[in-house]
Amino acid sequence: MKNQRIVITGGAGFIGSHLTSKLVEMGNEVVVVDILLRGNKIPKDVQSKIEFHQIDVCDFNAMAKICKGADLVFHFAAILGVDIVADNPIETMETEVNGMQSVAHAAAVNGIRHIVYASTSGVYGHLALEQSVSEEILVDPRTSYAMAKRYNEIYLASLFEEKGIHSVALRFFNIYGLRQDNRMVIPRFIEQAMAGESLTVYGTGEQTRDFTYVDDAIQSTIKLAENINGFEIYNIANEKEATILDLAKEIIQVTGSNSDIKLINAPSKRYDYEVGRRYGSSEKLEKKIGYKPRTDLQSGLKTILPTV
């Protein structure tokens, strides 16, 4: 991907900032749309090489102007974080649903035929009981965030039928890496470990997640974006199941901390914390692009530490 004019919504966020840097490095003209809920995570030297708009994605008129002349849109703007979503269900839904419609129509009126959308492994709910989940199984979204992500996947499928807009929905499995903030478990544990505080683990800590390194996620995302055809869904998963307790132990080890681990009750009405197992299959991804995430947790964690 080179010499393309690319719009990235949420491009100043954690994953978006990595995508922005990579696409600039590859020689593209990048336009970022972001309301900077968590500040601007795009590295300073990259900020001067992009066009930036502090605009709400739900503002269709503004989005239609911004998308003029673009070849491709990555729609990554969202409100996320288990507690933030639970406390702000209306804003979460509005950003997802209105934001997607605004982006899709801004693309359509400008003749843009390709959209890459950040969905979530949260659409699987608690389905990874016996084995890793693949894209073919029926989904079971249980939070407003996951439900809205699934709605948008279906919406994108209909956009292909109705308007011929091609798109891909990426079901990200716990992406982590540099510049992620402490809404998510890995930065939170690292902060606690560096401060010598107890690492607070919800429940028994036996619940599992599939931690996927951000560089692998970006590589997968860009390769998929280069091969969009119709509407498709892909898991972006590391295919390794780790318990939260193991994650806490690993972080204590790589930080060399003296912290201990404290098991506490998860806040009530936080469905995502109660999901017992979640890990994904990236087989479909590998078949499509000849690549899948592969960075092991310890190596990925080590890249974050110097900046904490």
Ligand X SMILES: NC(=O)c1ccc[n+]([C@@H]2O[C@H](COP(=O)([O-])OP(=O)(O)OC[C@H]3O[C@@H](n4cnc5c(N)ncnc54)[C@H](O)[C@@H]3O)[C@@H](O)[C@H]2O)c1
Q: Please report, as ranges, the residues that interact with ligand X according to CB under 6 A.
A: 9-10, 12-16, 33-38, 56-58, 76-80, 95, 99, 118, 120, 172, 174-175
Least distance (Å) from ligand X to the CB of residue 3? 25
By beta-carbon proximity to ligand X, the closer residue of 10 and 205 is 10
Strands (E), 196-249: 199-202, 208-209, 212-213, 231-236, 242-243
User: Contact, 30 vs 51, CB < 8 A?
Assistant: yes
By beta-carbon proximity to ligand X, the closer residue of 215 and 263 is 215
Tokens of 50: 């992009």
Rounded CA-CA distance 120/114 in Å is 19
Rounded CA-CA distance 203/274 in Å is 8
Angle between helices 14-25 and 214-225 (to 10 degrees): 60
Phi/psi at 280 (5° precision): -120, 165
By beta-carbon proximity to ligand X, the closer residue of 257 and 273 is 273
Least distance (Å) from ligand X to the CB of residue 34? 4
By beta-carbon proximity to ligand X, the closer residue of 221 and 255 is 221
User: Using CB atoms, what's the residue nearest to ligand X?
Assistant: 13
Out of 117, 145, 234, 279, which one is annotated catalytic? 145
Tell me if residue 159 falls in helix, strand or coil: helix
Q: Is position 145 annotated as part of the catalytic site?
A: yes
Least distance (Å) from ligand X to the CB of residue 88? 11
N-terminal to C-terminal alpha carbon distance within the chain = 32
Least distance (Å) from ligand X to the CB of residue 165? 18
Least distance (Å) from ligand X to the CB of residue 91? 8
Quote the Cα angle for 112-113-119, to 5°.
Answer: 105
Residue 243, Cβ neighbours under 10 Å: how many?
16
Quote the Cα angle for 238-260-298, to 5°.
Answer: 25
By beta-carbon proximity to ligand X, the closer residue of 14 and 279 is 14
Active site residues: 145
